[in-house]
Amino acid sequence: MGAAPSSAPKEPCWRRIRKELHQFWVDPPPFCRPGRSPVTDLLHWEVIIDGPEDSPYAGGTFPVDVQFPCDNPFKPTKITFKTKVFHPNIDSEGQMVLDIFKENWSPAMTINTLLLSIVSVLYDPMLDYPINSDIARLYQRNIKLYEEKARAWTRKYSSEPVVSYYPEKGDEHWQEYRDAFAAHYAEVAMRRRVAERRRAAASSTGHTAAAPRKRGASLVWRRAVAFLQGRSIAAPPTAKAVAN
């Protein structure tokens, strides 16, 4: 996808982005999936966002362009919608304008957390940060009309089905794909064993394990978590299915 970058990133950047690609393959955020073509440039991906349920974007297919900077993760990742979207936080160039992409960017941000935030804001616009004040006012004054227009734009610009590319046996990325799933399931199994040992130790001493300490989170992240509460997340393919 796309030409090779003119300024090649440093090795740690390659390793991190490749790891994020593997995580996206095996455990993508809800309503997100790979683009229609294989990733041939680690700095340039396509991701598909399926319109969230119970929103005026439901039923829509939104291809987004993901561009990592050469000095990732110290500068923000650029994510751009390829189709027109009627939304208070998305500008005419297709960029969702939020503080996490600017002054509140953190090197801890991954593509999965960014996509999770974007899906959350699609579902529940952040009127504290509107880039389009006219659409924001319409949302506040007449949400029914806002939703009608958003649905009309979705049907007009984002109704074309897109089939995601997943590596298959014999493809260039097949072994990398299998290795990503193997590592994912090994990590899941290890965490399960650690949790079981802790529960066993707690029960033998008569004490319950201490609850993990809560950490502060940005407004976008809190809203993303609230949006996902009560929603089921499709499990990734089983290790057996990937191995076959």
Alpha-carbon dihedral sign for residues 154, 37, 4, 179: positive
Confidence of residue 242 (pLDDT cuts 50, 70, 90): low
Confidence of residue 106 (pLDDT cuts 50, 70, 90): very high
Pairing label, strands 61-67, 44-50: antiparallel
Alpha-carbon dihedral sign for residues 136, 137, 141, 144: negative
> What whole-number distance in Å separates Cα of residue 126 and Cα of residue 219?
10
Q: Is the Cβ–Cβ distance between 88 and 139 less than 8 Å?
A: yes
Confidence of residue 231 (pLDDT cuts 50, 70, 90): very low
pTM for the model stands at 0.73
Domain ranges of the chain: 13-158
User: Tens digits of per-residue pLDDT, 23-58?
Assistant: 999 999 999 999 999 998 999 999 999 999 999 999
HEC string of 56-71 equals CCCCCEEEEEEECCCC
CATH topology of domain 13-158: Ubiquitin Conjugating Enzyme (3.10.110)
